[in-house]
Amino acid sequence: MFTIRYKIIHDEFVDYRTIDLCDFETNHGDIEGSLELCFHDKTVGFLDDDFPAIPEWLVVWFRDLLTVSLYLLSHDYVAYKLPEASRIWLEFKRSGDDLIVSLVEDVPREEITNHFIVEPLGEFQKSDWSGVRIKREQFLREIIDQTEGFLEEIRTINPCLLQSTALQKLMGLKEDCKK
């Protein structure tokens, strides 16, 4: 089973309810929040109402997860470098109708500039967990459903933000994944 949990952070620095599109585009461009990906009992990220987490850029996360989904439609292997992590990747390997997911660490090297690779790097080392089996279709569906929920929440908070460049791109990627 795969689930995505997220929470938009509202604080004294940014009030998404009252910000205008120009200010959002110029000074923010993304929505801060907490995010947790759960692969059965293995997790990436952190979400707990009782303990504040370091804010994540939610649009970036959803954009990247949709991109992983698109790659998985045409490739048997995708590795995704986690945002703000210098050497930690999520590795997805197709196995029939399933995905085998591992959290892996890259060896020290010159920086890989692409956050997605579709050919395995033999140098990846297993990290905290590996070999978690999830259903590919359920993974893709969860990403689309949670992206739609996120966009609907933005629509409720401040619909003008949906006109931003980042959210327009996110909506386009979501539609590409639904095809």
Ordered structural domains, the chain, with CATH: 2-178 (3.30.2450)
175 pLDDT above the threshold of 70:
yes
CA atoms in the 13 A half-sphere facing the CB of 2? 23
pLDDT in tens, 31-77: 999 999 999 999 988 766 666 667 889 999 999 999 999 999 999 99
Q: Would you say the pTM of this structure is higher than 0.85?
A: yes
In our burial notation (b when 16+ CB lie closer than 10 A, e otherwise), range 15-27 reads ebeebeeeebeee
pLDDT, one tens digit per residue, over 130-172 is 999 999 999 999 999 999 999 999 999 999 999 999 999 999 9
